[in-house]
Amino acid sequence: MGVKVCKFGGTSLADAQQIRKVAEILAADEERRFIVVSAPGTRPHVSGDRKITDLLLLCHQLAEQGLDIAPAFNRVRERFEGIAAALGVRGVPAWLDEVETQVAAGVSRDWLASRGEYLNARLMAAYLDARFVDATAGIFFRRDGRLNEEKTYSTLAERLRGDGRFVIPGFYGVDPQGNIKTFPRGGSDITGAIVARAVGADVYENWTDVPGILMADPRIVPEAQPIRELTYREMRELSYMGASALQHEAVFPVRDVGIPIHICNTNDPAAPGTWVVRERDVRRTPQVVIGIAGRVGFCLIFIEKAMMNQERGFARKVLTVLETHNISFDHSPTSIDSMSFIISEEELNNKEDEVVEEIKRVTQAEIVEVIHDLALIATVGLGMAYEPGISGRLFGALREERINVRVIIQGASEINIIIGVATADFERAVRAIYRAFITPCA
């Protein structure tokens, strides 16, 4: 019998009705034995609803400022107690009391943020009659904040041995001192991938409230269809640029061992969803481009100096300035006399003048300037490497819309063409590219 790890996101566990759907999904396939849960998310029918994690983070902020946490914590309490009562799970009020008492005694942000997953996993284990295995017993971080892979995979494999179902809370683990540490937001996806690898799963099912990874952001392209199949690399490019079905770091643990990720919809379990796989046959997909994703909020540092290409150590000097200011950059398009760095605005925040001055000083460049309001759009597809004329089509579509392209980046891998446009042109550009490459019926 095969083994499936199923991670359920916050909207799939937002209330008792959703949780019943989850139970049905699990009952339909006995290979679904390892269940990773998020904290309850927002309920679409409740206006102004908040994610449990957001409420817990609010509690932490209030506690830090010496303010009363009760109003915010009571919302957390009501949610969990309501779900537990509807599902007939006992003991939940006492678990919540425990958390509230600990908060009063002073707890870290990560500890409190993790309680949504912790409580939900205990609740789900009780409801499903499954074994609860806390993430603190199996997910370990190193002192530098990175995952201790060896220890995590071997310990988790040990803890998750045996028959029956196991429920594991997503989003956190422990550091070497035994303190709880969370992954970035949306990090239960990462936990799911780690568990899949630890137990040697055949499939990592990621259950969410969308039909899969869409070919474009539906807020910009309402008719965007789900992508049936894509590779880990294509997935990484798209999710890094904002395609949001899966946290972008979640690919790594499963990619190395080739476990496919199946993104499924809890509200429509029979739908095909999206498969993320190691390799795919590009001839099976009618379009060369499988997805378009983009983000606003970038800027570009442009540096120009005559004969720059012949100067030894030029790039090193600029990179040292960026490093000393703790700035990471996303791309660096260059030409013979100029070099530029695309950086998210947040990275440069408050440091712009200093950084520009310092680059001027160390490089003696003629021009160092920052261009703001840049949006990046990635057009992704493995098949692009084999088909001529792709960039012609892309730029033709933008020309027809009279959109000025500020930067072009094409990595040597040729699975991706990234363009930079003014923020004001962002949505129009995404729509133009979508129309140029993706046929509506695909």
Give contact residues for ligand ASP (rule: CB under 6 A).
Answer: 10, 38-39, 51, 53, 116, 170-171, 185-189
Can you tell me the distance from the alpha carbon of 275 to that of 407, in angstroms, rounded to the nearest whole number? 32
Q: Which secondary-structure segment (H or E) carries 397?
A: helix 390-400
CB of 73 to ligand ASP, least distance (A): 16
Indicate if the alpha-carbon torsion angle 92, 49, 110, 204 is positive or negative.
positive
Query: Rounded distance, CA 295 to CA 283, Å?
Result: 29
Q: What are phi and psi of 24, to 5 degrees?
A: -65, -40
Structure tokens belonging to residue 357: 């001055």
Look at strands 166-169 and 131-132 and give their pairing. Answer: parallel
From the CB of 10, what's the least distance to ligand ASP, in Å?
Answer: 5
Cβ 253 to ligand ASP, closest distance in Å?
A: 15
What minimum distance in Å lies between the beta carbon of 172 and ligand ASP?
9
**In 297-387, which ranges are continuous DSSP H helix?**
314-324, 345-348, 352-363
Token duo for residue 374: 């840049």
Q: Whose Cβ is closer to ligand ASP: residue 172's or residue 275's?
A: 172
**Is the CB of 111 or the CB of 171 nearer to ligand ASP?**
171
CB of 11 to ligand ASP, least distance (A): 9
CA 139 to chain centre: 19
**Toward ligand ASP, which CB reaches closer, 189 or 205?**
189
Question: DSSP of 29-78, one letter per residue?
Answer: -TTEEEEEE------TTSTT---HHHHHHHHHHHHHTT---HHHHHHHHH
Residue 249 Cβ vs ligand ASP, minimum distance, rounded to whole Å: 11
- Least distance to ligand ASP, CB of residue 82, Å: 18
Could you identify the residue written with the tokens 């009571």? 74
The SS3 of residue 223 is coil
C-beta closer to ligand ASP: residue 170 or 420:
170
Q: Are 228 and 438 in contact (CB under 8 A)?
A: no
Nearest CB to ligand ASP, comparing residues 135 and 382? 135
We find the least distance from the C-beta atom of residue 203 to ligand ASP, in angstroms, to be: 19
Which lies closer to ligand ASP via its Cβ, residue 171 or residue 314?
Answer: 171
Provide the token pair at 142: 């190193």
- In the bound state with ligand ASP, the residue whose beta carbon lies nearer, of 37 and 365, is 37
Nearer to ligand ASP, 185 or 325 (CB): 185
